């Protein structure tokens, strides 16, 4: 079945079974490998992408649900790594192993689009579904504040 969607600003048609997880359609069919597989049960957040601006866990989201919608992956937030969240992540050395970082960044971007100057409580709530096995949560929070222009 052909599923038409806008992926990172480009209209695409992907040949996929309707129940194929969006994650695999993005990685295997569209060749965008920045979005990572973590748990496969929508619990860790490593596979977070935006669908029509909202963060979703792509490992458990059927590709048929994005027909006619806009999907943004980590590759789509900037072509050169210049998004303020990416810059803050690098400047504060947030990543340790780095595996969860694309999902973390996608959740942070969604938070800042909704709440441009978040309090710690806003950050904690928005990021609570993203697990970092390395425990860089304080650096994640600091980077979000820095990206928001409100480094504390």
Could you state, in chain order, the average pLDDT of each consecutive group of 10 residues for the chain (152 residues)? 97 97 98 96 97 97 98 96 96 93 97 97 96 94 93 49
**Residues 103 and 136: beta-carbon distance below 8 Å:** no
Q: Residue 72's pLDDT is what? A: 98
Q: How far apart are CA 38 and CA 15, in angstroms?
A: 24
**Residues 70 and 51: beta-carbon distance below 8 Å:** yes
Q: Given phi > 0 = left and psi -120 to 50 = alpha, else beta, which region is 53?
A: left
Token output for 136: 């860089």
Q: Residue 57's pLDDT is what? A: 98
Adjacent-strand bridge partners of 12? 5
Q: Residue 130's pLDDT is what? A: 95
Placement of tokens 């496969």 in the chain = 40
Domains of the chain (ranges; CATH) run 2-76 (3.10.20.30), 84-148 (1.10.150.120)
Q: Residue 109's pLDDT is what? A: 98
Closest CA to 127 of 43, 45, 38, 36: 45
Q: Residue 150's pLDDT is what? A: 58
């Amino acid at each position: 079945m052909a599923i038409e969607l806008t992926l990172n600003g480009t209209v695409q048609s992907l040949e996929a079974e309707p129940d194929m997880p969006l994650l695999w359609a993005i990685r295997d069919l569209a060749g965008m490998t920045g979005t990572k597989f973590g748990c496969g049960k929508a619990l860790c957040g490593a596979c977070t992408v935006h669908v029509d601006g909202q963060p979703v866990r792509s490992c458990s989201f059927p590709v048929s649900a994005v027909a006619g919608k806009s999907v943004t992956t980590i590759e789509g937030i900037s072509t050169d790594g210049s998004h303020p969240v990416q810059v803050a992540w690098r400047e504060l050395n947030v990543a340790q192993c780095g595996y969860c970082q694309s999902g973390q960044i996608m959740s942070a971007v969604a938070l800042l689009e909704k709440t441009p100057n978040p309090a710690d409580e806003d950050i904690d709530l928005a990021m609570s579904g993203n697990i970092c096995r390395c425990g860089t949560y304080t650096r994640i929070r600091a980077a979000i504040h820095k990206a928001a222009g409100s480094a504390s």
